[in-house]
Amino acid sequence: MHLSEIWIYPVKSLGGIRLTKAQVEERGLQYDRRWMIVDENARFITQREINKMAILDVALTEKGLLLSHRFESESNVLVPYKPVSATPLQVTVWDDSLEALTVSNDADDWLSNQLGKKVSIVMMPKSTERKADPRYAVNGENVSFADGFPFLLISEASLEDLNSKLSEVILMKRFRPNFVVSGAEPFGEDAWKSIQIGTIGFNVVKPCARCILTTINPETGEKGSEPLKTLASYRRVNNKVLFGQNLVASQTGTVREGDEIALL
């Protein structure tokens, strides 16, 4: 088995970036979901509320994240890595309340214009701790602004199995994984407990329960009923629809596309 794709999503719920190598940190891959968009009540916003977020792309540049509209590339804004406004703000992600920093008034204005409501972009400083669910964490791991865990893994074979049941083929990016695995059996990852990607060890801690976000086409931002409807017909456990596995890292370091994956 090999690592066939590596993805990060620097701004929660905006477009992803495919990498050939990435730094593994405790709370996720470097840059992954370290930024987030919040409403006027400092509560997180995702594609669940605003589908259009799917067509706002993110690029890593020397000076910061470049946000752009996929179909209006001349419309863009830079989000500096080092916050300019840098005002502490208590934000909410699901049931967690934590301190973040505002980043840039220009970025806030651009995003508010794009999304049709007043929003702000915030960054998670290294000093902020957000603990992964203690029922599944191994060493009290912290997590970024991701929904629950630092890393998400899916095998190509699992997606192929799903696509064999769908009338229209969907892409892996629909599920926003960090790691895509080639050479596994369909849903083989369900049985994994600990793995090694290259030289880095990971614990497989919990299946990923899927939501309506998977019904939003990441290419167009349009919403449908699939693949959640089909997944629910054969991947439902305790009223949750499962696809992919959440991981925590047992060490830091670098993973690369093509790395061998071993079961430990």
Distance CA 174, CA 216 (A): 8
For the entire predicted model, the pTM comes to 0.97
Helix, strand, coil shares of the chain, percent, nearest 5, are 15, 40, 45
pLDDT in tens, 156-173: 999 999 999 999 999 999
Average pLDDT of the chain, as a whole number: 97
Find the radius of gyration of the CA atoms of the chain: 18
The segment(s) of the chain belonging to CATH 2.40.33.20 are 2-9+132-263
How large is the average pLDDT for residues 83-91? 97
Calculate what percentage of the chain has a pLDDT beyond 70: 100
- Percent of the chain scored above 90 by pLDDT? 99
Q: CATH number for the 2-9+132-263 domain, one of 3.40.50.10070, 2.40.33.20, 3.20.20.140, 3.50.50.60? A: 2.40.33.20
The answer on pLDDT for 184 being more than 90 is: yes
Inter-residue contact 108 to 119 (CB < 8 Å): yes
What three-state secondary structure class fits 127? coil
Say if residues 190 and 245 touch (Cβ distance below 8 Å): yes
pLDDT tens per residue across span 25-54: 999 999 999 999 999 999 999 999 999 999
Question: What is the chain's length?
Answer: 264
Structure tokens at 72: 């209006």
Query: Which residue, among 110, 144, 173, has the nearest Cα to 10 in the 3D structure?
Result: 144
- Cα separation, 149 vs 208, in Å, equals 9
CA distance 77 to 247: 33
